[in-house]
Amino acid sequence: MAEEMSTAVEGETKAEAYVRIGKEIAAIVAGETSRTARYATAACLLAHNFGPRFFWTGFYVVDPQKPQELVVGPYQGTLGCLRIPFGRGVCGAAAQSGETQLVRDVEAFPGHIACDSRSRSEIVVPVLDADGALAAVLDVDSAELDAFDAEDQAGLEAICKILLTA
């Protein structure tokens, strides 16, 4: 089935954009059981709607063979690192703690992993499976300092919940 993808809408607030994109993701992935397909859809729609502010948008998934390690999943952006152990960098901190990490300046974050040196700020949100276990993290990086705020956190957390239930 071919889908017509939305892009940014003029005059829309950021909170409205997240609601619209969330509905669109939910409609597209409804009934789709492949996590790859669900994550790829979210990465694509987020990256294209939030344009240059979202410099790298994608998922690191928990490796079933190595449950303390993340491996890169569907993403949009420049070349990402392949593997991140739990506890390392911003993604590893989100995986270990199960909590969203909002980093306004990556240089001030101890152990930040610079897959691309242009990354200046980032937000990483845990993605849970139906049993409440960590399935992946959603990582969004920006080349701008302080690019993410509480609205991004709420919007991205809502989208990660949609990925679980839609």
Q: Which residues bind ligand SME (CB under 6 A)?
A: 56, 80-81, 84, 89-91, 112-113, 115, 119, 122, 139, 141
In the complex, the smallest distance separating the C-beta of residue 72 from ligand SME, rounded to whole angstroms, is 8
Chain-centre distance for alpha carbon 33: 19
In the complex, the smallest distance separating the C-beta of residue 70 from ligand SME, rounded to whole angstroms, is 9
In the complex, the smallest distance separating the C-beta of residue 93 from ligand SME, rounded to whole angstroms, is 7
Q: Which is nearer to ligand SME, 113 or 128 (by Cβ)? A: 113
CB count within 10 Å of CB 27 equals 11
Residue showing the smallest CB distance to ligand SME in the complex? 89
CA distances from 141 to 23, 153, 165 (A): 23, 13, 25
Q: Which is nearer to ligand SME, 71 or 81 (by Cβ)? A: 81
Six token digits for residue 111: 């152990």
In the complex, the smallest distance separating the C-beta of residue 111 from ligand SME, rounded to whole angstroms, is 7
Under DSSP, is residue 92 helix (H, G, I), strand (E, B) or coil? helix
Q: Which is nearer to ligand SME, 17 or 91 (by Cβ)? A: 91
Classify residue 13 by burial, with Cβ atoms within 10 Å: 0-12, 13-18, 19+. Answer: exposed
Q: Which is nearer to ligand SME, 32 or 63 (by Cβ)? A: 63
Q: Which residues pair with 102 in a beta bridge?
A: 123
Whole-angstrom distance, CA of residue 31 vs CA of residue 120: 37
